[in-house]
Structure 1
Amino acid sequence: MGILIFWDEDVPEGLQQPFVRMVSHTLDMPASAQPNGMMLRGFDRSRNQNDASRILGDMQDIYTRRAGCEEAVLLVTGKDLYIRGRDFVFGLARPGVKVSVVSTARLDNRWYGRQQSDEDLMDRLVKEGCHELCHCMGLDHCENPECIMYYPQTLDELDRKKKTLCPECRQYLNLYRFSD
């Protein structure tokens, strides 16, 4: 059981290898990365955003159905994401088929007019990437505001989370990992 991370070309350079190592360490699972070969569809000109649900549908078709990928898959993109009924999402997962996507757009300080910080971006990206991957592995949202599985409504709530799972969520993840 492992994690496959696809890295879109519009993500800031220099983050890929540290991100892969941190995700692997945080979830205690092997992780690898490769460039994203899939064209991202679902751009909505009126919103200037990409439909995260459409991206997940394409990922399901390409990586799960055609390529037969059995690992949990995460696509990291720099494109701003939304789903119907929401202004934006940091990321989204489709647990039944183990595909997920996360965007660096609103995780970057520059989005909010703040000074750019690779450290802040990496911290948020790891938290959100692990959050979506854990959904792929069957975990639901957690009420503990420090747990990776807590559902943040704002960037400040995301920043308050830790890069760890609470004991209950860790136990559930361990059950998933050793169920094969």
Structure 2
Amino acid sequence: MKITIHTTPEEAKELGKTCNKSGHCCKYSGGIVLNEDIPRISTHLEMTEEGFKKHYLNQHTRFNTTHWILNTKKTNKPYGPCIFLDKNLCSIHEVKPLYCKVGTCCDEEVGDQLIQWFNIHHFVNIDDPVSLREWALSTENKKLIQGAHIKELLTEEEYNAIMTYQELQHNTKQEQHQKSHQEK
């Protein structure tokens, strides 16, 4: 199956479910946790959502959008294994975050494509010029999944305004529309 921005979450989970149980994908970082992952994981751990956030999560920003990331075990290095990695296995495997389900354990090419899919759906904000510029710069010379290139996400006019910094900050399309009508 070809991964595109139109791939459904169910299809992404199916493609990402291959796990060789090496623990490699979890040895250098914790996974991204979305707000919708929190109730499921905190219930599994028999904790409140606030307790789970306090003990196991930190905020993490990519492409000017903030979500949560699982803490890592303390090491003397700038990285470490996920707090839930135990003997190369995920101790919350049954309820692990979507990010961990889709792109951390499958073959490198598919994994990279699924991480792009995840970023497009959960970090890249189409209404935020900063988010779009950061996405464009980080993917400049990379092979992207269909529909993920900045020029596929925007009209040429929007692309030019954002990339030349005419559009500097977060304005929703509705605000832009209202502004253009006020100018007329």
Q: Same fold (TM over 0.5)?
A: no
Say which structure is richer in strand: 1
State the TM-score, normalizing by the size of structure 2. 0.29
Say which structure is richer in helix: 2
Rg: which structure is higher? 2
Report 1 or 2 for greater relative contact order, CA contacts < 8 Å, sequence distance ≥ 6. Answer: 2
